[in-house]
Amino acid sequence: MSNIEIHKDGSIDISSELTSTRTLSLLAITESWWVGLRIYSENGTLLSMEPNIATVTSRFWSRLLANTVYNPTREMQFNYNSSGPYALASLKEDIQRCVNMDDDILTQFMELEEIVSALKPADTFDKVLRVVKEMLGLNNVA
């Protein structure tokens, strides 16, 4: 099952499965990378995720080192929370919002106008996913 992940910084990813363990950099952990992440599932459910621990400490030294020379990776356990079903229009609006605030990352393979015009007629998750794959330069990936 495919998922479209919309991050709070406006980046977009595609995942093929929801794994309970993710490998994250120390910087991603200290910045609480998962906060604000919206996962649009192929089955029509909007998901968020939270770490499977009581608290994530973000000490000054950890943040400083992660932003400079020492940024190791760590495995973290996550739980997924359902926010209920979503409308396809909200997924398309979320993608367009990310593209509008983009600084030439999401628009390296397609121009803004091309993305907008390709999203308009997309009336299923699979069609939206195809547009996102083409936008990310993954059009040859199944």
Per residue in 27-52, pLDDT (tens digit) is: 888 788 899 999 999 999 999 999 88
Per residue in 76-122, pLDDT (tens digit) is: 889 999 999 999 999 999 999 999 988 788 888 898 899 999 999 99
Does 8 share its domain with 73? Answer: yes
Structure tokens at 134: 């083409």
Does 13 share its domain with 44? Answer: yes
**Residue 35, in any domain of the structure:** yes
Q: How many domains, the chain?
A: 2
Does 78 share its domain with 97? Answer: no
**Residue 140, in any domain of the structure:** no
Residue 1's pLDDT band (boundaries 50, 70, 90)? confident
- Identify which of 2, 95, 92 has the alpha carbon closest to the alpha carbon of residue 43: 2
Residue 6: predicted pLDDT? 96
**Residue 93, in any domain of the structure:** yes
Residue 54's pLDDT band (boundaries 50, 70, 90)? low
